[in-house]
Structure 1
Amino acid sequence: MTEHTLTVAGVTVDTRHWIGGERIASAETFTDVSPIDGSALGEISRGTATEAAAAVAAAKAAFPGWAATARAERARILHAIADGVDKRIEDLAIVETHDNAALLRSHRRGVMPRVAHNFRFFADWLLKLEHEEFETRGHTNRVSWDPAGPCVLITPWNAPLMLATWKIAPALAAGNTVILKPAEWTPLTASLLADIAAEAGLPAGVLNVVQGYGAEAGNALVSHPDVRRISFTGSVPTAKAIGAASAANLVPTSFELGGKSPLLVFADADLDLAVDLAVEQYDNAGQVCLAATRILVEESVADEFTKRFAQKAATLQQGDPRDEATDLGPNIHPRQLEKIDGFVQRALAAGARAVIGGAPHTDLGGLYYRPTLLTDVAQDSEVVQEEVFGPVLTLQTFATEQEAVALANDTRFGLAATLATGDHERAARVTAQLVAGTVWVNCFFVRDLQAPFGGSRQSGVGREGGTWSFDFYCDLKNTVTAPKGWQNHG
C-alpha cells in the first residue's frame, strides 16, 4: 500500500481520480468504510469543482477523436474492456463485497459477469444499429445516431459497478465520452474499471472517474455548460436538484429513481411460487430499487400465504456476506439502518403488526436488520407510500381484481410490478392497468438489455436499453435527400 492506494483482501485499488488518462489526487480525502464490520478501507480523493472541471475538459478534448472512431473499432475496444472484466471478476467481486456488503457469491456468479455482458451487449448492438430508409414523395429519409458529447453519469451504491456500466457501455458505444461520479459510499470498483479500460486501449479522456460528494463534485458536474447528457440513478430529491441544474443548460437527462413496487398475489396463483417471489424481495438486504415491497394478497388465501411466507423467510441465513451460506448481509451505512428502523418503529407505533422481524439483528450487531413483514398497515401510511430501501415488506389484502389494481397504483411511484396468477386472461387484464416501467408475471428480476428500462411517475424519466439507450445518448438526425439535382462528374 502506498500513499494513494489501499488494499482490500489482497487487491490493490488506486484511491485517486482518473482524469484524462492520469491519476489525479485531491488535497482533501474522505474515508471509505466497509459495512461488513465498520472498518476503514482507506482514504479516497475528494473531488471538488476543480476536479469536475478538469474531467469535463478532458472528456471534451477526447470527444472528437472518439466520436470519429469507426463503429467496429469502438465495439472492439468495448469487447476488450469486457475481456478485462472477465479476467478480474474475482478481484472486482471481493472489492465490491467489502465496499457495499452485497453477497460475494452474487458478485462472483451474477453481478460481475453482468458487468462484462453490459459492454459486450452494447458493442454488438452498435454494429446493428440502423433504421430502414423510407421515402417521402420520392425523397429518401435516412435516420442516423450522432454522438452527443461529454456525458455525466452518477451512480448509486447498491450495485455500484453493474449500474455504472449499464450507463457507461451505451454512452461509450454511441461515441460519447464519459465522466463517472460513483457513490461516495462505494467508490472502489469504479477505480478498478478505469484501470481495466485503460489496459483495454480506451483512449485517454474517453472515460474519467471523479470521486466525491454530490453537493461538491456532483453539483459541479451536472451544472457544467460543456456537458451534453446526464444520467442518474438514485433518489427523487437528488434528481430534482440535478434537473434544476441541468435545465439552465438544457441538457437532456435520464433518471431511474425510487420504487414502491407491488406484488399482487391472486387466489388462483401457485402459492408456493408466490411465496418464493415474495421472499426474494429481501435480496441485497432489501436495497433494490425494483423490489416489490408492497405485497397485496387476495383475502381468501392471505392467511395461508402469510403462514408459508413466515416459514420460508425463517430459512434465510443472515450474516457475513463473504460466507457462501449467507442469504442476507448488512445494510450499507449507519444512516441507512437508522432510516429503516425509523420507518418500522413508527409503523408499529401506529398499529402495524410485525409478522417477522421488526428490529435490528442485535445478535449480529453492526448494520444487520432482521427481515421484516408488517401487516395491519394503512394504505396512506408512510411505510406503504415511501421507499424504505431495506429488508422491510408490507402485506395488505384485497377482495376484488379492481381493488388490487387500485391499491397497486396508489403511490407516487411506478418503477415495477410483479403479478402472481394462474389465469392468462387475468394476467393480461391486470398488467394492462398497472402503472409501471416493468411488469413481471409469475417471475421476478428477469431482465434483458434489449428491453426498455425506466420508471413512470416519480420513479424516473426516460427509458434505456437496446436502441432506447442510443436514442438517449445520441443526437438523432434525419437526412432527407432529393431524387434530382445531381451532376455526374464522370
Structure 2
Amino acid sequence: MPHHESAIVDGVTVDLRHWIGGTRISSPTTFPDYSPLDESLLGDVAAGGANEVDEAVSAARAAFPAWAALPVAERSAILRRVADGIDARVEDLSRLETRDNGSLIRSHRRGVMPRVAMNFRAFADFAEQQLGHPDLEVRDHRERITYEPAGVVAIITPWNAPLMLATWRIGPALAAGNTVVLKPPEWAPLTASLLAEISAEAGLPPGVFNVVQGLGAEAGAALTAHPDINRLAFTGSVPTAGTISKAAAENIVPLSYELGGKSPLVVLEDADLDLAVSIAVEQFDNAGQVCLKAARMLVHSSLVQEFTERVVEGAATLRQGDPRDEATDVSALISRRHFEQIDGFVERALADGARALLGGGPNEELGGLYYRPTVLVDAPPGSEVLTEEVFGPVVTIESFETEAQAVQMANDSRFGLAATLVTGDRTRAERVSAQLDAGTVWVNCFFVRDLEAPFGGNGRSGIGREGGIWSFDFYTNIKNSVFSPQGWKEN
C-alpha cells in the first residue's frame, strides 16, 4: 500500500486519500502535513489538482438530482445520523484536530465537536421548519414561494477551526438539497477525512459529500474556477478572496465570504471592570488565531491604567504548552511561516515605538512554534499593528476620552466582522452598539451566537450572511410561481 494512504495520529487512524463519489481516491503526488506541537510529520496527504476536482464535481453533479428530490424529512434524518456519528467520535475528532492544528483538546471535547454535530442537527431541523412557505394571495392570484437547491456547492475552509467552520457550511448546503465538494486546509486537513467516513456510515449517498485535499494554488484554484459549481463558500484571507472572486466571476457563481477581522473591544467608563478584563483575557484563546477576536482594546482614559494592569496580570497566568493537556490555556501557532509572520508584526510594532508590557516574542522555554501572549501599548495611531490583522496571541490597548471618540476609533478599520462593547448603562449600550460598524456586536459578552442568527462581516470582513434562513437564502434558488384565477379548464 502506498505510504500516503493512511496514518495513525495520537491513536486515531485517518485515511490520507481523497473522498470522491463514495470512494477513496489516491493521487500521484502528496503534500506533507506537520503538527504545530513539535513540527513532526503526521503524514503525506494526497495532493489533488484539476483532475481530482473535476472528478469530485462530476460525482457531486451526478448525485444531485436524487439528493435534491429526496423529501426534506428524509434528508434531515440522514443528517441527524451524521450528527450522531460525530457525537460518537468526539474523542477521536478532538485528538486528531488538536494534533493537526494545535487547538486545545478541552475546547474540542466540551464545545467545538458538540457544535460540529449541532451544525448538522440544527440545520436539519431548520430545513424542515423553514423551507416550506405559505402561499400568498395577491389580487386573487396565488403566489407560491419555494426554496430549490442550487446544485453543487464548493466549500473552502481555514485551518484555525477546520471541522467546525466546514460543517457550518456543509450542514445547511446538504439540508437544502445540494451536493458538496470540500477543499480542507492544507495545514490541517485530517478531520475532514474522518468526517467523510462518518457521513458514509450514516448513510449519506455516494457523491453527495466529497473531499478533495491539496494546496490552494492547485486544488483550490481548480475548484473555484470549475464551470459546474453553483455556489462557493470561503473562509480565509482577503488576498485569497480576491483571487477566488476573479475565478468565480468567469462563471457568475454566487459567493459567501467570511474573511479577516480587526475587531475592537470598547470599554466605556461605566463598565464592569471585572467583566471587561475577563473578556480581554479570553482573546488569547486558540493562541489568538481567531478571526473574531477583539485584538484592538479601546478603553476609557479613567479605566485604562487599571484595565491594562489587570489584563497583563491575567494573561501572565495563562498556561502555555501542549494542548493535549487539559490544563493548557495557550498552545502553539499553526506553522513556522505563520510564526515568523506574527513575530514580524511584533518586531515592527516595537520598532515603531510600541511597548510590550507582556510577551513580545517567542516562548524560549518551550521553543518550537510557541509564541508568548503579548500585550502592546503606545503603538502610534495608524500603525500596522493597529490596522492589519495579526492572527496570533497579540493585542493592543489604546485609550479614548469620549463616547464619540470611542465609536470613531472602533470604526476606523477596513474590517467589520465583530465588535464587543462593555458598559453598565442599557441606554448607552443600545446607542453605541447601533453605531458600531460590524456584522456582530456583543454587549457585555463574547462569542455567543445562535445558529439561527445571521453571521458575516462588513467591509473587507466578507460578503453576505449565513445562519438560519440566511443560509438557505444563499444555498437555494428562491422561486416565486404565480397562479392566475383565469384560464382554467374544468378537470
TM-score class, shorter-chain normalisation, is over 0.9
Q: For residue 267 of structure 1, what is the amino acid of its counterpart?
A: E
Given the alignment, which residue of 188, 191, 196 partners 1:189? 191
Residue matched to 1:487: 489
Residue matched to 2:336: 334
1:447 is displaced (CA, Å) by 1.4
Task: Give the Cα–Cα distance (whole angstroms) in 1 for the partners of residues 49 and 229 of structure 2.
Answer: 17
Residue matched to 2:257: 255
The answer to whether the 8 Å contact 1:379/1:385 transfers is: no
Task: Give the Cα–Cα distance (whole angstroms) in 2 for the partners of residues 223 and 172 of structure 1.
Answer: 22
1:131 is displaced (CA, Å) by 3.0
372-381 or 126-135: bigger deviation: 126-135
Task: Give the Cα–Cα distance (whole angstroms) in 2 for the partners of residues 183 and 259 of structure 1.
Answer: 19
Residue matched to 1:133: 135
Q: Which runs of structure 1 show a deviation greater than 4 angstroms over 4 or more consecutive aligned residues? A: none
1:75 counterpart = 2:113:
no
The answer to whether the 8 Å contact 1:419/1:440 transfers is: yes
Task: Give the Cα–Cα distance (whole angstroms) in 1 for the partners of residues 290 and 174 of structure 2.
Answer: 26
1:311 is displaced (CA, Å) by 1.5
Given the alignment, which residue of 215, 220, 223 partners 2:222? 220
Task: Describe the SS at the equivalent of 2:80.
Answer: helix
Task: Give the Cα–Cα distance (whole angstroms) in 1 for the partners of residues 195 and 89 of structure 2.
Answer: 10
After superposition, give the CA deviation of every residue in 1:437-469 in whole Å (9 maximum; x if it has no partner): 000000000011010000000000000000000
Task: Give 5+ residue unaligned stretches, structure 1.
Answer: none
Task: Give the Cα–Cα distance (whole angstroms) in 1 for the partners of residues 133 and 403 of structure 2.
Answer: 41
1:2 is displaced (CA, Å) by 7.1
Residue matched to 2:210: 208
Task: Describe the SS at the equivalent of 1:44.
Answer: strand
**Once the two structures are aligned, what percentage of the paired residues are identical?**
65
Q: For residue 213 of structure 2, what is the amino acid of its counterpart?
A: Q
The answer to whether the 8 Å contact 2:286/2:331 transfers is: yes
Residue matched to 1:447: 449
1:463 counterpart = 2:465:
yes
Residue matched to 2:124: 123
Task: Give the Cα–Cα distance (whole angstroms) in 1 for the partners of residues 21 and 346 of structure 2.
Answer: 46
Q: For residue 23 of structure 1, what is the amino acid of its counterpart?
A: R
Task: Give the Cα–Cα distance (whole angstroms) in 2 for the partners of residues 337 and 475 of structure 1.
Answer: 42
Task: Describe the SS at the equivalent of 1:146.
Answer: strand
Given the alignment, which residue of 225, 233, 236 partners 1:234? 236
1:21 counterpart = 2:22:
yes
The answer to whether the 8 Å contact 2:266/2:298 transfers is: yes
Task: Give the Cα–Cα distance (whole angstroms) in 2 for the partners of residues 205 and 453 of structure 1.
Answer: 28
Q: For residue 162 of structure 2, what is the amino acid of its counterpart?
A: P
Task: Describe the SS at the equivalent of 2:460.
Answer: helix
Q: TM-score, normalised by structure 1?
A: 0.99
RMSD: 0.9
Task: Describe the SS at the equivalent of 2:380.
Answer: coil
Task: Give the Cα–Cα distance (whole angstroms) in 1 for the partners of residues 451 and 490 of structure 2.
Answer: 46
1:424 counterpart = 2:388:
no
Aligned residues: 489
Given the alignment, which residue of 306, 311, 334 partners 1:309? 311
After superposition, give the CA deviation of every residue in 1:184-214 in whole Å (9 maximum; x if it has no partner): 0011000000000001000000000000011
The answer to whether the 8 Å contact 2:151/2:230 transfers is: yes
Residue matched to 1:264: 266
Q: For residue 122 of structure 1, what is the amino acid of its counterpart?
A: F
After superposition, give the CA deviation of every residue in 1:3-44 in whole Å (9 maximum; x if it has no partner): 311001111000000001100000000111000011100110
Task: Give the Cα–Cα distance (whole angstroms) in 2 for the partners of residues 442 and 379 of structure 1.
Answer: 26
After superposition, give the CA deviation of every residue in 1:35-92 in whole Å (9 maximum; x if it has no partner): 0011100110000111011001101111111111110110000000001001100000
Residue matched to 1:112: 113
Residue matched to 2:177: 175
Task: Give 5+ residue unaligned stretches, structure 2.
Answer: none
Task: Give the Cα–Cα distance (whole angstroms) in 1 for the partners of residues 417 and 409 of structure 2.
Answer: 15
The answer to whether the 8 Å contact 2:352/2:380 transfers is: no
Q: For residue 212 of structure 1, what is the amino acid of its counterpart?
A: G
Task: Give the Cα–Cα distance (whole angstroms) in 2 for the partners of residues 259 and 74 of structure 1.
Answer: 35
Task: Give the Cα–Cα distance (whole angstroms) in 1 for the partners of residues 381 and 17 of structure 2.
Answer: 47
Q: TM-score, normalised by structure 2?
A: 0.99
Aligned pairs (5 A) from 1:292-441: 292-441=294-443
The answer to whether the 8 Å contact 2:156/2:233 transfers is: yes
